[in-house]
Amino acid sequence: MTLPVAPGLRAGWRLGIGLWLLGLPGVVAVVWALLPPLTANEALLPAPLWVVVLLSGLQTAVLLAAAVAVGTALAPRVGLRAPALSAWGAGRPVAPALRPQWMPGLVGGALGALWLVLLSHCAPDGLRPADSSSAMPLVVKLLYGGITEELLVRWGAMSLLLWLPWRVVQRGQGAPRPVWVALAVVLSALLFAVGHLPAALAMAGALTPDVLVFVLVGNTAFGLLAGALFARWGLEAAMLAHVLAHALAHPWV
């Protein structure tokens, strides 16, 4: 005898699996971008190239799965949403849930692109690509930056950072206080910025004060924008803004 699965549980599983699959192309893209430098330094690798590539992809895929699971379990409890994706998971029409997010996402993307272009003019020398071939491919920015990072940082980390004070301080009662929402936005933005330090170190060779300030300030500012979009309109608005910011800024960055 097969036990019936509650509709809400089925929709949650479908949403979680869908979000994980949505983030996987970004994992593949970033691993693909690592291939040239890994190949160039293959003799220095602690294991065969294919093993390093496979483990790198698996590690990121597992981290993505954990973030998606955390967000899927906790976000609805604290009022954070992925309206269109949740509608898809529940078998409802997606367009009505996505429609209110288009304009905030477009405005956020335009502001994000302007910020990226402005940052590119004041980047430390160590963070300026030596040539166009050494720059991060656009596909990685769009897929990993725009989608996978939003699942990791906003859907996963920000949901957890909001749920913790709501559960501990408010005892899980009522809607989270605005101060906890603001704190979750700020802390997730800082986490988003810190997550860019390893790439900055690899590119610049050292985390000098100017590199640290540039990376932390630049990425925290965009993280605040994406977090506010997520908190107010939904995950899809933050994703749209992130993807659009990279797409619009690409010709100049």
Q: In one letter, which amino acid is 207?
A: L
Block residue for tokens 């940052």 = 119
- CA distance linking residue 61 with residue 162, whole number of Å: 24
4-18 residue pLDDT tens: 334 467 788 999 999
Max alpha carbon distance in the chain (Å)? 66
pLDDT of residue 131: 57
143-173 residue pLDDT tens: 999 999 999 999 999 999 999 999 999 999 9
95-123 residue pLDDT tens: 999 999 999 999 999 999 999 999 999 99
Which stretch of 20-29, 128-137, 177-186 has the lowest confidence by average pLDDT?
Answer: 128-137
The angle subtended at Cα 36 by Cα 35 and Cα 41, nearest 5°, is 95
What's the rounded mean pLDDT across residues 231-241? Answer: 98
What's the rounded mean pLDDT across residues 174-178? Answer: 96
pLDDT of residue 251: 85
Sign of the alpha-carbon dihedral angle for 85, 87, 91, 93 = negative
- CA distance linking residue 73 with residue 6, whole number of Å: 15
Which stretch of 101-105, 118-122, 134-138, 189-193 has the lowest confidence by average pLDDT?
Answer: 134-138
Backbone angles phi, psi at 47, to 5 degrees: -150, 165
